[in-house]
């Protein structure tokens, strides 16, 4: 009969882990259509918000995150104190706008703004602040698309 050899290693430490050395938990957020949209090192509910549109302010310097969104259109909005240019990002599945930045290239500015109610922690469940009512289209409502001729 062959000889059976086994070994095991047991390791233990009584060294306390400092709070700053503990691994940070990641928070995962989904679009309203259940598509994965954002993973970030902070709870979005704890981050500051813009006064103008209540969007969540994500610092591109202080936060580690991955936004899974496609670059969309550039929109010029009229605000009380002037104009604001937004480079929008939308869900690759349903095209819902979920975030925007003030600079053209992703993470090139100081902040990324996540629209209020666009993301949820629970896949398949809309957050309470999401607009989920369907509004009827009035016959007096008109839509105009402006295109530039090249």
- Is the pTM value of this prediction over 0.85? no
Distance CA 120, CA 56 (A): 13
Distance CA 34, CA 28 (A): 12
pLDDT in tens, 92-143: 999 999 999 998 888 888 999 999 999 999 988 888 777 655 556 555 444 3
Is it the case that residue 62 has pLDDT exceeding 60?
A: yes
pLDDT at 143: 39
Distance CA 41, CA 21 (A): 14
For residues 52-63, give the mean pLDDT.
Answer: 94
Is it the case that residue 38 has pLDDT exceeding 70?
A: yes
Distance CA 30, CA 116 (A): 13
């Amino acid at each position: 009969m062959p000889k059976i050899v086994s070994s095991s290693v047991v390791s233990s430490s009584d060294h306390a882990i400092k709070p700053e050395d503990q691994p940070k938990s990641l928070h995962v957020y989904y679009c309203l259509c259940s598509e994965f949209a954002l993973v970030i090192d902070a709870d979005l509910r704890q981050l500051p918000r813009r006064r103008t549109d209540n969007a969540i302010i994500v610092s591109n310097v202080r936060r580690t995150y991955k936004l899974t969104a496609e670059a969309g259109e550039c929109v010029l909005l009229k605000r009380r104190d002037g104009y604001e240019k937004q480079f929008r990002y939308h869900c690759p599945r349903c095209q819902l706008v979920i975030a925007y930045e003030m600079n053209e290239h992703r993470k090139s500015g100081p902040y990324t703004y996540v629209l209020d109610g666009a993301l949820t922690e629970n896949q398949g469940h809309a957050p309470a602040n999401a607009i989920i009512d369907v509004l009827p289209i009035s016959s007096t409502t008109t839509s105009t698309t402006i295109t530039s001729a090249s």
